[in-house]
């Protein structure tokens, strides 16, 4: 065996969503801030993303978290989320995975009963508070980025469902939120393929027709994901986030529920101090709460808290032989979706 590149990874999932963590093999990425590093991957050189994410070293139903030294003095660690379409600025489930990996492998020292980890993310500082016992990270609560509404009741024309009302909100990244009542479907595993088709169509249409930019940072732009929202028979909140190029988040989704919380606050459906639980397509749960409000460029923004659990399920290395014809990996439409601008 003769590899010219070797990465060490720890496999973890948060309430079902896989977020493996690169713990060795990458020294750094160019850029003075974590946002600049993410932009470098997306706009200059995305070879590390392709290497980690695409087959044969990766697969569609996962994220890879690239652990990096923090660029700000008030953070303990930095990381960037690598996914099938690009690098992303924030993810609640991946913060839970990365916190669990850092503490349970001893990269950061665990303190019982609680350990605080401050993450330098492209979307800003995120604080994770882990409940720890007997060497186990039992639960992680995240202080998420300030989340705000961009637009309510945006009209989106679709091929199969006519014109839909869509809310657009920022929860660390931008989301399009679609109420399932318009579609006549529920968030169930057997509807996953249909949910993906709807979510991808809405995202593509909005990114073609609207310029969606964070009012304080023009590098945070565009609809990253679509989230279909629903309520269960007992009124519990359900959601299914659709990630390009075409899959459903297995977790309830921290950034998606932060965006949803911003919309609920705007519509007067929740208030500061409220708590609720959000469920995923596989029935896993995040606990949510409204810690307070602030303003972002004059807009009212909610300060969400998200709580969930993570588990380590594997440790391994990936590498590449210099004679391998697929050194940057490959994707095929059966698993990776059929959008020409996403399949590589």
Query: Is the peptide bond prior to 113 cis by the omega test (within 30 degrees of 0)?
Result: yes
pLDDT at 131 over 50: yes
pLDDT of residue 339: 52
Displacement of CA 39 from its chain's centroid (Å): 16
Q: What is the pTM of this model?
A: 0.96
What is the mean predicted confidence (pLDDT) over 301-317? 97
What is the mean predicted confidence (pLDDT) over 224-240? 92
pLDDT at 56 over 90: yes
pLDDT of residue 23: 97
Q: Which residues are catalytic?
A: 91, 253
DSSP reduced 3-state for 63: strand
The percent of the chain in helix, strand and coil, each rounded to the nearest 5, is 20, 45, 35
pLDDT of residue 338: 65
Return left, alpha or beta for 100; rule: phi > 0 is left, psi -120 to 50 is alpha, else beta.
Answer: alpha
pLDDT of residue 246: 87
User: How many percent of the chain have pLDDT more than 70?
Assistant: 98
Using pLDDT thresholds of 50, 70 and 90, give the confidence band for residue 334.
Answer: confident
- What does pLDDT average to over the chain? 94
Using pLDDT thresholds of 50, 70 and 90, give the confidence band for residue 2.
Answer: confident
What is the mean predicted confidence (pLDDT) over 241-253? 94
Closest CA to 7 of 316, 314, 312, 311: 316
Let me know: does 275 contact 248? Beta carbons within 8 Å: no
- Note the pLDDT tens digit of each residue in 73-111: 999 999 999 999 999 999 999 999 999 999 999 999 999
Domains along the chain with CATH numbers: 5-143+311-336 (3.10.310.10), 147-307 (3.10.310.10)
């Amino acid at each position: 065996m003769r590899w010219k590149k070797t990465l060490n990874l720890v496999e973890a999932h948060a309430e079902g969503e896989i977020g493996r963590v690169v713990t060795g093999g990458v020294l750094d990425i160019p850029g003075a801030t974590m946002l600049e590093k993410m932009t470098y991957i997306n706009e200059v050189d995305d070879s590390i993303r392709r290497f980690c994410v695409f087959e044969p070293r990766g697969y569609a139903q996962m994220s890879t978290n690239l652990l990096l030294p923090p660029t700000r003095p008030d953070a303990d660690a930095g990381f960037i989320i690598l996914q099938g379409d690009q690098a992303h600025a924030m993810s609640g489930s991946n913060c839970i995975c990365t916190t669990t990996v850092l503490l349970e492998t001893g990269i950061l020292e665990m303190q019982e009963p609680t350990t605080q980890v401050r993450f330098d993310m492209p979307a800003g500082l995120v604080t994770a508070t882990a409940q720890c016992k007997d060497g186990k990270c039992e639960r992680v609560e995240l202080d998420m980025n300030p989340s705000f509404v961009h637009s309510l009741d945006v009209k989106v024309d679709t091929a199969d469902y006519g014109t839909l009302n869509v809310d657009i909100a920022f929860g660390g990244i931008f989301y399009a939120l679609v109420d399932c009542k318009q579609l006549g479907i529920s968030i169930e595993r057997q509807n996953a393929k249909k949910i993906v088709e709807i979510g991808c169509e809405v995202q593509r249409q909005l990114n073609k027709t609207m310029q969606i930019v964070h009012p304080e940072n023009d590098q945070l732009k565009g609809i990253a994901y679509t989230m279909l929202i629903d309520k269960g028979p007992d009124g519990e909140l359900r959601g299914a986030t659709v990630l390009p190029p075409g899959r459903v988040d297995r977790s309830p989704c921290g950034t998606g529920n932060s965006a949803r919380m911003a919309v609920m606050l705007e519509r007067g459906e929740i208030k500061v101090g409220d708590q609720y639980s959000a469920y995923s397509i596989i029935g896993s749960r995040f606990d949510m709460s409204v810690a307070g409000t602030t303003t972002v460029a004059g807009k009212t923004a909610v300060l969400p808290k998200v709580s969930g659990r993570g588990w380590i399920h594997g440790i391994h290395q990936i590498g590449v032989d210099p004679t391998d014809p697929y050194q940057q990996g490959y994707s095929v439409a059966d698993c990776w979706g059929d959008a020409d601008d996403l399949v590589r």
